[in-house]
Chain A
């Protein structure tokens, strides 16, 4: 019960700090003019809270030619959100799966070969996402020009949805990061004495890897994967822009305002925070039980 209360406090603190950030552009605009607009800042914060409370009435001014139209945001924005979240979690799932599979395969190698593979992936990790997306789109274009087969659309028109190419682009870098991370934890785990014992008992390498090392290493991989998540959010933004994907991030960018920023960040923050909290709760419980015996 005490843990739950602490969780609630943490959640509320997080919400407040995101709210404080959402008003920050006002302060910077004021700073440029040499003023400190704290009163306007708090007015804006109050406005943000009120709008979030009545989100169904929020509307955005569209200018079509000379006519300004007020368009309600509410039903449409859910669609944007779900599309973005779908892409994010599909990519995350694929990245985790492939990274773990890759780790298993490389762990079966000898140590010398392993260090070479690691060095290659170290350099692959530092490729910028813009280059990967650009190259992916270019490859699709070249394939289309050479063979006439459109592997996937490289830009979204209207309300259609494309999945596999954006997910692939979004997946590559987190996958490499997670792979390197899990390689490091698997290798430190491999030096533990229980692994030596299991080896001396004659268990096969793959059995030890799967039944012993994996179970222990996955916990620390989970705790360190938060940073990958953060990195993926930035990537998702760029991805939506480059593929013209009608997701929440592109929508926010096209109508940039404090309120929309708040809604966008919250729409990612709430599911991810809850997911991580559940994961932490589960793993810590498992860890404790392991210690007690």
Chain B
């Protein structure tokens, strides 16, 4: 296996992710957790623009409707969103991988009906499923939350991880089962290896690379579900709802995580497009970075990078090729007529 650090795509992706993650912690450490607020821009003593202020050099991504700097919000929120998605994917893999191996080896006979039960989950859109299950947890009830922020984050991560465990497990199970039919595993079994040993010695090392790719895909998927939930005003760690009948604030997210930034600002799309666009583009950037890392990783492990241009044969002229083709056709016709006799 070549080193992944020689793959430019992998390094690019890794760079973007670490920029957001390390940058997020550094930013909060240096500038504090409250973004800079600008109330209006003055020009010659006259206010020319009130929040939301469009992007210019001092606020590269503009400000929101209360004058808070968008760039600061994006940077502070990055760690919650990225780490949250990674946690969901990690927990999902942690549950699904052992289950998948068990389905693929111990439960081979039952596999067809296990797949039959899991299959209908394919028709329940992931986002709707998440909304249905998470609404009671994340939407603040009239009398306030009974759970703490940390508890809610944990419950959300667990639920989001668990709902697609069956699908991932059946995927791994099918993959493991394919490998299980290979000859060398048959040989190992004949020599008396137990199923446990086959899993540990053969299946796990064989599928390690596939698992890494699968993990990356799961992170992407959870990021997208986060974004969808944000649009539905269900934010990471719960949604603060104001039930004040007169001056109700819009639902608020607890930290500046990106899903909340996007969900709350989507209705400003026409007036202040930088508000929804900057979190949406950040989401896209992180997802692209992960995709680049996956691609770099598979290239490093497969070892195939360039397809070299094939050299043209010099010494065979077109006539010869044509003659060959004609001969072959005639022979085939003869074969056909032989068959028909």
Residues on A close to B: CB < 8 A?
Answer: 10, 13-15, 17-18, 21-22, 24-25, 28-29, 32-33, 111-112, 115, 119, 122-123, 125-131, 134, 137-138, 141, 200-202, 226-227, 229-230, 233-234, 236-238, 241-242, 249, 252-253, 256, 258, 261, 264-265, 268-269, 272-273
Contacts and interface: CB of A to CB of B under 8 A. Distances in A.
Contacts of B117: 13, 17
B295 A241 contact: no
A202 B330 CA distance: 13
Interface string B307-341: 10100000000000010110011001000000000
Nearest to B284: A131
Contact of A269 (B123, B228, B307, B309): B123
B131 interface: yes
Given A13-B113, A130-B262, A202-B322, 6 more contacts: A28-B136, A28-B137, A123-B292, A130-B224, A233-B123, A256-B131
Interface string B49-63: 000000000000000
3 A-B pairs with the lowest CB-CB distances in the bound complex, closest first? A14-B120, A233-B125, A126-B291
B136 A273 contact: no
A234 B277 contact: no
Contacts of A261: 128, 132
8 contacts: A18-B124, A21-B129, A115-B307, A122-B295, A131-B283, A201-B332, A202-B322, A234-B127
A245 B241 CA distance: 25
Contacts of A265: 123-124, 128
Contacts of B135: 25, 256
A235 B283 CA distance: 16
Contacts of B220: 126
B227 interface: yes
Q: Which of B131, B146, B322 has the most CB of A within 10 A?
A: B131
B273 interface: yes
Contacts of A234: 125-128, 224-225, 228
B188 interface: no
Interface in B68-121: 113, 116-117, 119-121
Given A126-B291, A200-B328, A201-B325, A134 B276 contact: yes
B301 interface: no
A249 B288 CA distance: 29
Nearest to A199: B325
B155 interface: yes
Nearest to B224: A128
Given A13-B116, A122-B295, A130-B231, A24 B133 contact: yes
A32 B146 contact: yes
A154 to B, nearest CB: 9
Contacts, number: 151
A126 B232 CA distance: 21
A170 to B, nearest CB: 13
Contacts of B328: 200-201
A230 B287 contact: no
Contact of B123 (A119, A236, A268): A268
Nearest to B146: A32
A112 B228 contact: no
A122 B125 contact: no
A265 B129 CA distance: 10
A127 B125 contact: no
B127 A237 contact: yes
Given A131-B281, A134-B276, A265-B123, A237 B128 contact: yes
Contact of B269 (A22, A126, A137, A200): A137
B16 interface: no
Nearest to B130: A234
Contacts of B124: 18, 21, 233, 265, 269
B44 interface: no
Contacts of A227: 122
B215 interface: no
A264 B228 contact: no
Contacts of A21: 121, 124, 129
Contact of A128 (B136, B273, B287): B287
A128 B131 contact: no
Most chain B Cβ neighbours within 10 Å, of A15, A22, A24: A24
A264 B123 contact: no
A13 B280 CA distance: 39
Contacts of B224: 128-130, 234
Interface string B209-233: 0000000000010011101100110
B288 A130 contact: no
Given A17-B117, A126-B291, A242-B266, A230 B133 contact: no
B270 interface: yes
A127 B287 contact: yes
B147 interface: yes
B128 A138 contact: no
Contacts of B283: 128, 130-131
B231 A273 contact: no
B159 interface: yes
B82 to A, nearest CB: 14
A135 to B, nearest CB: 8
A111 B155 CA distance: 48
Contacts of B146: 32-33
Interface string B265-279: 010011001001100
B87 to A, nearest CB: 19
B270 A126 contact: no
